[in-house]
Structure 1
Amino acid sequence: MIDQWLFYALAVPVVLLVGLSKGGFGGGLGSLAVPVLSLAVDPRLAAAVLLPILCSMDLVSLWSFRGRWDKRNLWIMFPGAMLGLALGAAMFTYMDADMIRFMVGLMALYFVGHYVWGKHILQRVATQSASVVRGSFWSSIAGFVSYIAHAGGPPIAIYLLPQHLPKTLFVGTTVLFFSVVNYIKLVPYVWTGQLDLSAFYTSLILLPLAPIGVRLGVWLHHRISDKWFYGVCYVLLAFAGVKLVAESLVVWVF
Protein backbone atom coordinates (compact mmCIF):
# COMPACT_ATOMS: atom_id res chain seq x y z
CA MET A 1 0.00 0.00 0.00
CA ILE A 2 1.24 3.51 -0.78
CA ASP A 3 2.62 5.14 2.38
CA GLN A 4 3.64 8.61 1.11
CA TRP A 5 1.92 11.44 2.99
CA LEU A 6 2.06 13.71 -0.09
CA PHE A 7 0.08 11.18 -2.10
CA TYR A 8 -2.78 11.15 0.42
CA ALA A 9 -2.65 14.93 0.86
CA LEU A 10 -3.35 15.16 -2.88
CA ALA A 11 -5.58 12.10 -3.21
CA VAL A 12 -8.25 13.04 -0.65
CA PRO A 13 -9.29 16.35 -2.29
CA VAL A 14 -8.80 14.92 -5.78
CA VAL A 15 -11.15 11.96 -5.16
CA LEU A 16 -13.77 14.29 -3.68
CA LEU A 17 -13.50 16.71 -6.62
CA VAL A 18 -13.72 13.94 -9.21
CA GLY A 19 -16.76 12.56 -7.37
CA LEU A 20 -18.38 16.00 -7.43
CA SER A 21 -17.68 16.22 -11.15
CA LYS A 22 -19.07 12.77 -11.95
CA GLY A 23 -22.11 13.29 -9.76
CA GLY A 24 -23.31 16.58 -11.15
CA PHE A 25 -21.02 18.25 -13.68
CA GLY A 26 -20.51 15.80 -16.55
CA GLY A 27 -17.44 13.96 -15.24
CA GLY A 28 -14.95 16.31 -16.89
CA LEU A 29 -12.55 16.32 -13.97
CA GLY A 30 -11.40 12.78 -14.57
CA SER A 31 -8.63 14.59 -16.47
CA LEU A 32 -7.56 16.23 -13.20
CA ALA A 33 -6.89 13.11 -11.14
CA VAL A 34 -3.93 11.36 -12.74
CA PRO A 35 -1.88 14.52 -13.47
CA VAL A 36 -2.26 15.74 -9.89
CA LEU A 37 -1.48 12.36 -8.29
CA SER A 38 1.47 11.95 -10.65
CA LEU A 39 3.11 14.76 -8.72
CA ALA A 40 3.61 12.21 -5.93
CA VAL A 41 3.75 8.75 -7.58
CA ASP A 42 4.34 7.01 -10.91
CA PRO A 43 1.42 7.94 -13.24
CA ARG A 44 0.82 4.25 -13.96
CA LEU A 45 0.29 3.63 -10.26
CA ALA A 46 -1.91 6.72 -9.97
CA ALA A 47 -4.13 5.48 -12.80
CA ALA A 48 -4.37 2.01 -11.24
CA VAL A 49 -5.35 3.34 -7.80
CA LEU A 50 -8.03 5.56 -9.29
CA LEU A 51 -9.74 2.98 -11.49
CA PRO A 52 -11.61 1.01 -8.76
CA ILE A 53 -12.62 4.31 -7.17
CA LEU A 54 -13.98 5.60 -10.48
CA CYS A 55 -15.90 2.35 -10.96
CA SER A 56 -17.53 2.74 -7.55
CA MET A 57 -18.46 6.34 -8.39
CA ASP A 58 -20.01 5.13 -11.62
CA LEU A 59 -22.46 2.92 -9.73
CA VAL A 60 -23.76 5.89 -7.71
CA SER A 61 -23.91 8.13 -10.79
CA LEU A 62 -25.74 5.49 -12.84
CA TRP A 63 -28.45 5.24 -10.21
CA SER A 64 -28.75 9.02 -9.91
CA PHE A 65 -29.13 9.54 -13.68
CA ARG A 66 -30.80 6.24 -14.59
CA GLY A 67 -32.62 6.39 -17.91
CA ARG A 68 -31.48 9.96 -18.63
CA TRP A 69 -29.16 9.37 -21.55
CA ASP A 70 -29.13 9.70 -25.33
CA LYS A 71 -29.27 6.18 -26.75
CA ARG A 72 -28.39 7.15 -30.34
CA ASN A 73 -25.19 8.90 -29.27
CA LEU A 74 -24.21 5.99 -27.04
CA TRP A 75 -24.61 3.45 -29.84
CA ILE A 76 -22.38 5.67 -32.00
CA MET A 77 -19.70 6.22 -29.33
CA PHE A 78 -19.19 2.75 -27.87
CA PRO A 79 -17.46 1.09 -30.88
CA GLY A 80 -14.97 3.96 -31.21
CA ALA A 81 -14.27 3.84 -27.49
CA MET A 82 -13.43 0.13 -27.65
CA LEU A 83 -10.92 0.80 -30.44
CA GLY A 84 -9.33 3.60 -28.42
CA LEU A 85 -9.08 1.40 -25.33
CA ALA A 86 -7.37 -1.35 -27.33
CA LEU A 87 -4.81 1.11 -28.73
CA GLY A 88 -4.20 2.59 -25.28
CA ALA A 89 -3.62 -0.84 -23.74
CA ALA A 90 -1.25 -1.85 -26.54
CA MET A 91 0.87 1.31 -26.31
CA PHE A 92 0.87 1.55 -22.51
CA THR A 93 2.97 -1.61 -22.23
CA TYR A 94 5.88 0.01 -24.10
CA MET A 95 5.96 3.36 -22.27
CA ASP A 96 8.22 4.20 -19.34
CA ALA A 97 7.18 6.43 -16.44
CA ASP A 98 8.77 9.61 -17.82
CA MET A 99 7.14 9.19 -21.21
CA ILE A 100 3.73 8.67 -19.59
CA ARG A 101 4.34 11.61 -17.23
CA PHE A 102 5.13 13.82 -20.24
CA MET A 103 2.04 12.64 -22.13
CA VAL A 104 -0.20 13.14 -19.11
CA GLY A 105 1.21 16.63 -18.61
CA LEU A 106 0.53 17.56 -22.24
CA MET A 107 -3.00 16.20 -21.93
CA ALA A 108 -3.56 18.31 -18.83
CA LEU A 109 -2.42 21.50 -20.58
CA TYR A 110 -4.51 20.71 -23.64
CA PHE A 111 -7.61 20.11 -21.51
CA VAL A 112 -7.09 23.43 -19.73
CA GLY A 113 -6.89 25.13 -23.12
CA HIS A 114 -10.01 23.32 -24.23
CA TYR A 115 -11.86 24.53 -21.15
CA VAL A 116 -10.69 28.15 -21.45
CA TRP A 117 -11.26 28.55 -25.19
CA GLY A 118 -12.64 25.47 -26.91
CA LYS A 119 -15.70 24.87 -24.74
CA HIS A 120 -17.03 28.37 -25.28
CA ILE A 121 -16.42 28.17 -29.03
CA LEU A 122 -18.23 24.83 -29.24
CA GLN A 123 -21.22 26.20 -27.36
CA ARG A 124 -21.58 29.04 -29.88
CA VAL A 125 -21.50 26.96 -33.07
CA ALA A 126 -24.69 25.99 -34.84
CA THR A 127 -26.50 23.04 -33.31
CA GLN A 128 -25.29 19.71 -34.71
CA SER A 129 -27.00 16.35 -34.70
CA ALA A 130 -25.52 13.00 -33.70
CA SER A 131 -22.92 11.89 -36.26
CA VAL A 132 -21.37 8.46 -36.80
CA VAL A 133 -18.18 9.97 -38.25
CA ARG A 134 -17.61 12.62 -35.56
CA GLY A 135 -18.84 10.38 -32.77
CA SER A 136 -16.60 7.48 -33.77
CA PHE A 137 -13.54 9.70 -34.09
CA TRP A 138 -13.90 11.57 -30.79
CA SER A 139 -14.96 8.50 -28.84
CA SER A 140 -11.86 6.63 -30.05
CA ILE A 141 -9.71 9.52 -28.81
CA ALA A 142 -11.65 9.43 -25.55
CA GLY A 143 -11.07 5.68 -25.16
CA PHE A 144 -7.33 6.08 -25.74
CA VAL A 145 -6.73 8.93 -23.28
CA SER A 146 -9.14 7.32 -20.83
CA TYR A 147 -6.96 4.22 -20.71
CA ILE A 148 -3.76 6.25 -20.25
CA ALA A 149 -5.02 8.79 -17.72
CA HIS A 150 -8.80 8.46 -17.15
CA ALA A 151 -9.10 11.68 -19.16
CA GLY A 152 -11.73 10.98 -21.80
CA GLY A 153 -14.09 13.77 -20.76
CA PRO A 154 -12.88 16.60 -23.03
CA PRO A 155 -12.94 14.59 -26.31
CA ILE A 156 -16.51 13.49 -25.55
CA ALA A 157 -17.42 17.08 -24.71
CA ILE A 158 -16.05 18.18 -28.10
CA TYR A 159 -18.50 15.78 -29.73
CA LEU A 160 -21.54 16.31 -27.49
CA LEU A 161 -21.47 20.03 -26.67
CA PRO A 162 -22.34 21.24 -30.21
CA GLN A 163 -25.53 19.17 -29.98
CA HIS A 164 -26.71 21.47 -27.16
CA LEU A 165 -28.25 18.62 -25.22
CA PRO A 166 -30.17 19.48 -22.04
CA LYS A 167 -27.75 19.57 -19.08
CA THR A 168 -29.18 16.50 -17.36
CA LEU A 169 -29.23 14.49 -20.61
CA PHE A 170 -25.63 15.48 -21.32
CA VAL A 171 -24.48 14.43 -17.84
CA GLY A 172 -26.47 11.17 -17.95
CA THR A 173 -25.02 10.24 -21.35
CA THR A 174 -21.44 10.81 -20.19
CA VAL A 175 -22.13 8.90 -16.97
CA LEU A 176 -23.26 5.76 -18.79
CA PHE A 177 -20.54 6.03 -21.43
CA PHE A 178 -17.66 6.25 -18.94
CA SER A 179 -19.20 3.67 -16.64
CA VAL A 180 -18.97 1.08 -19.42
CA VAL A 181 -15.49 2.27 -20.42
CA ASN A 182 -14.15 2.11 -16.85
CA TYR A 183 -15.44 -1.37 -16.14
CA ILE A 184 -13.97 -2.66 -19.40
CA LYS A 185 -10.60 -1.11 -18.45
CA LEU A 186 -10.49 -3.30 -15.35
CA VAL A 187 -9.73 -6.35 -17.50
CA PRO A 188 -6.46 -5.15 -19.13
CA TYR A 189 -5.41 -3.28 -15.96
CA VAL A 190 -5.56 -6.53 -13.97
CA TRP A 191 -4.29 -8.71 -16.82
CA THR A 192 -1.11 -6.63 -17.30
CA GLY A 193 -0.46 -6.33 -13.55
CA GLN A 194 -0.95 -2.56 -13.48
CA LEU A 195 -3.73 -2.96 -10.92
CA ASP A 196 -1.92 -5.07 -8.32
CA LEU A 197 -2.62 -5.64 -4.61
CA SER A 198 -0.66 -2.55 -3.55
CA ALA A 199 -2.76 -0.31 -5.79
CA PHE A 200 -5.98 -2.08 -4.83
CA TYR A 201 -5.40 -1.75 -1.07
CA THR A 202 -4.70 1.96 -1.55
CA SER A 203 -7.95 2.24 -3.52
CA LEU A 204 -9.83 0.67 -0.61
CA ILE A 205 -8.45 3.30 1.78
CA LEU A 206 -9.76 6.11 -0.43
CA LEU A 207 -12.97 4.35 -1.47
CA PRO A 208 -15.25 5.80 1.27
CA LEU A 209 -14.70 9.25 -0.25
CA ALA A 210 -16.18 8.20 -3.60
CA PRO A 211 -19.92 8.06 -2.75
CA ILE A 212 -19.58 11.19 -0.61
CA GLY A 213 -18.21 13.16 -3.54
CA VAL A 214 -20.75 11.81 -6.03
CA ARG A 215 -23.79 12.39 -3.82
CA LEU A 216 -22.57 15.90 -3.05
CA GLY A 217 -22.16 16.50 -6.79
CA VAL A 218 -25.74 15.35 -7.44
CA TRP A 219 -26.99 17.69 -4.71
CA LEU A 220 -24.99 20.62 -6.15
CA HIS A 221 -26.11 19.87 -9.75
CA HIS A 222 -28.79 22.57 -9.67
CA ARG A 223 -27.30 24.73 -6.91
CA ILE A 224 -23.83 25.85 -8.04
CA SER A 225 -22.36 27.35 -11.18
CA ASP A 226 -20.33 24.81 -13.13
CA LYS A 227 -18.26 27.75 -14.47
CA TRP A 228 -17.03 28.58 -10.96
CA PHE A 229 -16.49 24.93 -10.02
CA TYR A 230 -14.45 24.06 -13.09
CA GLY A 231 -12.56 27.35 -13.09
CA VAL A 232 -11.00 26.64 -9.70
CA CYS A 233 -10.22 23.02 -10.54
CA TYR A 234 -8.60 23.76 -13.90
CA VAL A 235 -6.15 26.15 -12.25
CA LEU A 236 -4.92 23.12 -10.30
CA LEU A 237 -4.84 21.04 -13.48
CA ALA A 238 -2.75 23.71 -15.28
CA PHE A 239 -0.20 23.69 -12.45
CA ALA A 240 0.06 19.89 -12.54
CA GLY A 241 0.45 19.87 -16.33
CA VAL A 242 3.30 22.41 -16.32
CA LYS A 243 5.11 20.58 -13.53
CA LEU A 244 4.84 17.15 -15.17
CA VAL A 245 6.05 18.37 -18.56
CA ALA A 246 8.94 20.30 -16.97
CA GLU A 247 10.05 17.31 -14.88
CA SER A 248 10.01 15.00 -17.91
CA LEU A 249 12.03 17.45 -20.02
CA VAL A 250 14.59 17.87 -17.23
CA VAL A 251 15.09 14.07 -17.08
CA TRP A 252 15.50 13.78 -20.85
CA VAL A 253 17.77 16.81 -21.26
CA PHE A 254 20.01 16.28 -18.21
Structure 2
Amino acid sequence: MESLITSPLFWLLASIGIILTGISKSGFAGGAGVVAVPLLALVIPVPTAVFLMLPLLLVMDGRTIQYYWRHANWNELRAILPAAIAGIVAGGFLLGELPDKLLKLLLGVISIVFALWQRLAPWLGSMRGSGWLWGSISGLTSTLLHAGGPPINIYLIARNLPKLTWLATAGIFFGAMNALKVVPYVLSGQWPLWLLWLSLALIPIALLGTRLGKWVQGYISDRHFMLCCRALLLFSGLLLVVQSLVQYWG
Protein backbone atom coordinates (compact mmCIF):
# COMPACT_ATOMS: atom_id res chain seq x y z
CA MET A 1 0.00 0.00 0.00
CA GLU A 2 2.78 2.43 0.89
CA SER A 3 4.40 2.01 -2.52
CA LEU A 4 1.11 2.89 -4.23
CA ILE A 5 0.46 5.97 -2.09
CA THR A 6 3.91 7.36 -2.89
CA SER A 7 3.82 6.48 -6.60
CA PRO A 8 3.08 9.47 -8.87
CA LEU A 9 2.52 7.10 -11.80
CA PHE A 10 -0.19 5.23 -9.92
CA TRP A 11 -2.06 8.44 -9.05
CA LEU A 12 -1.73 9.73 -12.61
CA LEU A 13 -3.03 6.54 -14.24
CA ALA A 14 -5.73 6.10 -11.60
CA SER A 15 -6.94 9.67 -12.08
CA ILE A 16 -7.04 9.39 -15.87
CA GLY A 17 -8.78 6.02 -15.83
CA ILE A 18 -11.36 7.00 -13.18
CA ILE A 19 -12.21 10.33 -14.81
CA LEU A 20 -12.66 8.69 -18.22
CA THR A 21 -14.82 6.00 -16.64
CA GLY A 22 -16.98 8.61 -14.89
CA ILE A 23 -17.41 10.59 -18.11
CA SER A 24 -18.26 7.38 -19.94
CA LYS A 25 -20.86 6.33 -17.38
CA SER A 26 -22.79 9.58 -17.09
CA GLY A 27 -22.18 10.83 -20.62
CA PHE A 28 -21.87 7.80 -22.88
CA ALA A 29 -23.57 4.89 -21.07
CA GLY A 30 -20.34 3.21 -19.99
CA GLY A 31 -18.97 2.64 -23.49
CA ALA A 32 -15.37 3.34 -22.48
CA GLY A 33 -15.63 2.11 -18.93
CA VAL A 34 -13.11 -0.64 -19.62
CA VAL A 35 -10.26 1.86 -19.77
CA ALA A 36 -9.58 2.13 -16.02
CA VAL A 37 -8.56 -1.47 -15.30
CA PRO A 38 -6.10 -1.71 -18.23
CA LEU A 39 -4.49 1.58 -17.21
CA LEU A 40 -4.21 0.56 -13.57
CA ALA A 41 -2.88 -2.85 -14.64
CA LEU A 42 0.23 -1.09 -15.90
CA VAL A 43 1.31 -0.50 -12.29
CA ILE A 44 -0.68 -3.02 -10.19
CA PRO A 45 -1.91 -6.60 -10.75
CA VAL A 46 -5.21 -6.98 -12.64
CA PRO A 47 -7.09 -8.50 -9.65
CA THR A 48 -5.97 -5.58 -7.45
CA ALA A 49 -7.18 -3.10 -10.07
CA VAL A 50 -10.54 -4.89 -10.30
CA PHE A 51 -11.14 -4.80 -6.54
CA LEU A 52 -9.93 -1.20 -6.30
CA MET A 53 -12.43 -0.05 -8.93
CA LEU A 54 -15.61 -1.67 -7.58
CA PRO A 55 -16.42 0.91 -4.84
CA LEU A 56 -15.67 3.71 -7.31
CA LEU A 57 -17.97 2.18 -9.90
CA LEU A 58 -20.74 1.99 -7.30
CA VAL A 59 -20.32 5.69 -6.54
CA MET A 60 -20.34 6.61 -10.23
CA ASP A 61 -23.38 4.42 -10.89
CA GLY A 62 -25.24 6.03 -8.01
CA ARG A 63 -24.59 9.52 -9.33
CA THR A 64 -25.54 8.50 -12.89
CA ILE A 65 -28.83 6.99 -11.64
CA GLN A 66 -29.50 10.17 -9.70
CA TYR A 67 -29.08 12.18 -12.90
CA TYR A 68 -31.25 10.11 -15.26
CA TRP A 69 -33.42 7.49 -13.51
CA ARG A 70 -36.73 9.08 -14.61
CA HIS A 71 -35.92 8.21 -18.22
CA ALA A 72 -35.26 4.49 -17.68
CA ASN A 73 -36.81 1.85 -19.92
CA TRP A 74 -37.93 -0.80 -17.41
CA ASN A 75 -38.95 -3.27 -20.11
CA GLU A 76 -35.39 -3.36 -21.38
CA LEU A 77 -34.07 -3.76 -17.85
CA ARG A 78 -36.39 -6.71 -17.25
CA ALA A 79 -35.01 -8.28 -20.42
CA ILE A 80 -31.33 -8.00 -19.51
CA LEU A 81 -30.97 -7.94 -15.71
CA PRO A 82 -31.87 -11.61 -15.05
CA ALA A 83 -29.28 -12.63 -17.64
CA ALA A 84 -26.71 -10.34 -16.06
CA ILE A 85 -27.33 -11.96 -12.67
CA ALA A 86 -26.64 -15.38 -14.22
CA GLY A 87 -23.42 -13.99 -15.69
CA ILE A 88 -22.37 -12.58 -12.32
CA VAL A 89 -22.95 -15.95 -10.63
CA ALA A 90 -20.84 -17.67 -13.29
CA GLY A 91 -18.18 -14.99 -12.98
CA GLY A 92 -18.11 -15.44 -9.21
CA PHE A 93 -17.19 -19.10 -9.64
CA LEU A 94 -14.57 -18.22 -12.25
CA LEU A 95 -12.86 -15.43 -10.27
CA GLY A 96 -9.16 -16.21 -10.43
CA GLU A 97 -9.76 -19.35 -12.53
CA LEU A 98 -10.26 -18.23 -16.15
CA PRO A 99 -7.45 -16.55 -18.15
CA ASP A 100 -8.58 -12.97 -18.60
CA LYS A 101 -6.49 -12.59 -21.78
CA LEU A 102 -8.81 -14.97 -23.62
CA LEU A 103 -11.93 -13.15 -22.42
CA LYS A 104 -10.45 -9.82 -23.40
CA LEU A 105 -9.54 -11.04 -26.87
CA LEU A 106 -12.97 -12.47 -27.64
CA LEU A 107 -14.83 -9.50 -26.22
CA GLY A 108 -12.58 -7.06 -28.03
CA VAL A 109 -13.04 -8.74 -31.40
CA ILE A 110 -16.83 -8.81 -31.02
CA SER A 111 -16.87 -5.14 -30.04
CA ILE A 112 -14.73 -4.08 -32.99
CA VAL A 113 -16.78 -6.06 -35.51
CA PHE A 114 -20.04 -4.56 -34.28
CA ALA A 115 -18.71 -1.01 -34.09
CA LEU A 116 -17.52 -1.15 -37.71
CA TRP A 117 -20.42 -3.09 -39.19
CA GLN A 118 -23.52 -0.96 -38.76
CA ARG A 119 -25.82 -3.45 -40.51
CA LEU A 120 -25.40 -5.82 -37.58
CA ALA A 121 -27.57 -3.55 -35.41
CA PRO A 122 -31.02 -4.53 -36.77
CA TRP A 123 -30.08 -8.21 -36.75
CA LEU A 124 -28.79 -8.18 -33.17
CA GLY A 125 -31.82 -6.21 -32.02
CA SER A 126 -34.31 -8.66 -33.47
CA MET A 127 -32.56 -11.98 -33.02
CA ARG A 128 -34.10 -14.37 -30.52
CA GLY A 129 -32.59 -14.26 -27.04
CA SER A 130 -30.35 -11.22 -27.63
CA GLY A 131 -31.16 -9.81 -24.19
CA TRP A 132 -30.07 -13.03 -22.50
CA LEU A 133 -26.99 -13.39 -24.69
CA TRP A 134 -25.54 -9.91 -24.19
CA GLY A 135 -26.86 -9.51 -20.65
CA SER A 136 -25.15 -12.70 -19.47
CA ILE A 137 -21.91 -11.91 -21.27
CA SER A 138 -21.96 -8.45 -19.72
CA GLY A 139 -22.47 -9.91 -16.23
CA LEU A 140 -19.62 -12.37 -16.75
CA THR A 141 -17.07 -9.91 -18.17
CA SER A 142 -18.09 -7.25 -15.67
CA THR A 143 -17.43 -9.60 -12.76
CA LEU A 144 -14.07 -10.73 -14.07
CA LEU A 145 -12.73 -7.53 -15.64
CA HIS A 146 -15.19 -4.64 -15.10
CA ALA A 147 -15.65 -4.89 -18.88
CA GLY A 148 -19.43 -5.19 -18.99
CA GLY A 149 -19.87 -2.05 -21.09
CA PRO A 150 -19.04 -3.33 -24.59
CA PRO A 151 -21.36 -6.38 -24.61
CA ILE A 152 -24.39 -4.58 -23.18
CA ASN A 153 -23.81 -1.63 -25.49
CA ILE A 154 -23.87 -4.07 -28.39
CA TYR A 155 -27.42 -4.86 -27.29
CA LEU A 156 -28.44 -1.27 -26.47
CA ILE A 157 -27.11 0.16 -29.74
CA ALA A 158 -29.30 -2.34 -31.56
CA ARG A 159 -32.34 -1.13 -29.59
CA ASN A 160 -31.92 2.44 -30.90
CA LEU A 161 -32.98 4.07 -27.62
CA PRO A 162 -33.13 7.86 -27.18
CA LYS A 163 -30.06 9.31 -25.50
CA LEU A 164 -31.48 9.95 -22.02
CA THR A 165 -33.32 6.62 -22.01
CA TRP A 166 -30.09 4.87 -22.92
CA LEU A 167 -28.14 6.65 -20.18
CA ALA A 168 -30.78 5.92 -17.53
CA THR A 169 -31.24 2.27 -18.53
CA ALA A 170 -27.51 1.60 -18.71
CA GLY A 171 -26.92 3.44 -15.42
CA ILE A 172 -29.46 1.32 -13.52
CA PHE A 173 -28.20 -1.83 -15.21
CA PHE A 174 -24.58 -1.20 -14.22
CA GLY A 175 -25.58 -0.03 -10.75
CA ALA A 176 -27.51 -3.24 -10.08
CA MET A 177 -24.71 -5.39 -11.48
CA ASN A 178 -21.96 -3.71 -9.49
CA ALA A 179 -23.99 -3.91 -6.27
CA LEU A 180 -24.52 -7.64 -6.82
CA LYS A 181 -20.81 -8.13 -7.57
CA VAL A 182 -19.98 -7.16 -3.98
CA VAL A 183 -21.14 -10.63 -2.86
CA PRO A 184 -18.72 -12.78 -4.95
CA TYR A 185 -15.91 -10.28 -4.37
CA VAL A 186 -16.27 -10.53 -0.60
CA LEU A 187 -16.67 -14.31 -0.72
CA SER A 188 -13.50 -14.64 -2.80
CA GLY A 189 -11.41 -13.53 0.19
CA GLN A 190 -9.16 -11.47 -2.12
CA TRP A 191 -10.39 -8.00 -1.09
CA PRO A 192 -8.01 -6.52 1.55
CA LEU A 193 -9.20 -3.70 3.79
CA TRP A 194 -6.34 -1.38 2.83
CA LEU A 195 -7.49 -1.51 -0.79
CA LEU A 196 -10.97 -0.41 0.24
CA TRP A 197 -9.50 2.62 2.03
CA LEU A 198 -7.55 3.49 -1.11
CA SER A 199 -10.77 3.30 -3.13
CA LEU A 200 -12.45 5.71 -0.73
CA ALA A 201 -9.60 8.18 -1.18
CA LEU A 202 -10.26 8.18 -4.93
CA ILE A 203 -14.01 8.94 -4.67
CA PRO A 204 -13.64 12.71 -5.32
CA ILE A 205 -12.04 11.89 -8.67
CA ALA A 206 -14.92 9.54 -9.50
CA LEU A 207 -17.48 12.25 -8.72
CA LEU A 208 -15.58 14.72 -10.89
CA GLY A 209 -15.70 12.27 -13.80
CA THR A 210 -19.47 11.76 -13.59
CA ARG A 211 -20.05 15.50 -13.34
CA LEU A 212 -17.99 16.06 -16.48
CA GLY A 213 -19.92 13.31 -18.26
CA LYS A 214 -23.28 14.91 -17.50
CA TRP A 215 -22.00 18.25 -18.76
CA VAL A 216 -20.65 16.73 -21.98
CA GLN A 217 -23.80 14.81 -22.94
CA GLY A 218 -25.89 18.00 -22.71
CA TYR A 219 -24.10 19.32 -25.79
CA ILE A 220 -24.46 16.18 -27.94
CA SER A 221 -27.48 15.28 -30.13
CA ASP A 222 -28.99 11.78 -30.24
CA ARG A 223 -27.36 11.14 -33.63
CA HIS A 224 -23.94 12.24 -32.47
CA PHE A 225 -24.46 10.33 -29.25
CA MET A 226 -24.94 7.11 -31.25
CA LEU A 227 -21.79 7.84 -33.24
CA CYS A 228 -19.88 8.48 -30.03
CA CYS A 229 -21.11 5.19 -28.55
CA ARG A 230 -19.95 3.31 -31.64
CA ALA A 231 -16.60 5.07 -31.45
CA LEU A 232 -16.26 4.22 -27.77
CA LEU A 233 -17.23 0.63 -28.50
CA LEU A 234 -14.50 0.49 -31.16
CA PHE A 235 -12.00 2.08 -28.77
CA SER A 236 -12.94 -0.34 -26.00
CA GLY A 237 -12.59 -3.30 -28.34
CA LEU A 238 -9.18 -2.19 -29.62
CA LEU A 239 -7.98 -1.60 -26.06
CA LEU A 240 -9.09 -5.08 -25.00
CA VAL A 241 -7.49 -6.76 -28.04
CA VAL A 242 -4.19 -4.92 -27.61
CA GLN A 243 -4.02 -5.78 -23.93
CA SER A 244 -4.84 -9.45 -24.55
CA LEU A 245 -2.17 -9.73 -27.29
CA VAL A 246 0.40 -8.10 -25.04
CA GLN A 247 -0.45 -10.68 -22.37
CA TYR A 248 -0.16 -13.55 -24.87
CA TRP A 249 3.22 -12.36 -26.20
CA GLY A 250 4.47 -11.55 -22.71
Could you tell me how far apart the structure 2 residues matched to 1:142 and 1:236 are?
14
Per-residue Cα deviation, 1:15-60 (whole angstroms, up to 9, x for no partner)? 0011011111111122222122212211111010000000001111
What amino acid maps onto 2:184 in structure 1? P
Residue of structure 2 in register with 1:47 after alignment: 50
Contact map agreement 2:23 2:210 (CA 8 A) in 1? yes
Question: Residues of 2 paired with 1:67 and 1:39: CA distance?
Answer: 38
Alpha-carbon distance in structure 1 between the residues aligned to 2:153 and 2:183: 26
1:210-247 residue CA offsets vs partner (Å, 9 max, x unmatched): 11110111111121555569858965874574245324
Unaligned runs of 5+ in 2: none
Give the alignment's TM-score, normalised by structure 2: 0.85
Question: Which residue of the partner structure matches residue 220 of structure 1?
Answer: 216
Tell me if structure 2 keeps the 8 A contact 1:32–1:237.
no
Pairwise CA RMSD of aligned residues?
Answer: 2.7
Distance 2:51 2:208 in 1: 21
Aligned with 2:142 (options 127, 143, 146)? 146
Q: Partner letter of residue 175 of structure 2?
A: S
Q: Does 1:185 align with 2:186?
A: no
Report the CA distance between 1:198 and its aligned residue. 2.6
Q: How much identity, in percent, do the aligned residues show?
A: 31
Aligned length: 243
* Distance in 2 (alpha carbons) for counterparts of 1:160 and 1:139: 10
Question: Structure 1, unaligned stretches of length 5 or more?
Answer: none
Moved over 6 A (4+): none
Q: Sort the Cα spacing of 1:104 and 1:128 in 2 relative to 1 into closer, same or farther, 3 A.
A: closer
2:161 corresponds, among 153, 165, 168, to: 165
Alignment check: 8 A CA contact 1:122 1:161 kept: no
2:70 paired with 1:67: yes
Q: Distance in 2 between matches of 1:158 and 1:14?
A: 22
After alignment, is 185-194 or 233-242 more displaced? 233-242
CA contact (8 A) 2:34 2:236 kept: no
Contact 2:21–2:209 under 8 Å retained in 1: yes
Q: Which of residues 18, 22, 26 in structure 2 aligns to 1:19?
A: 22
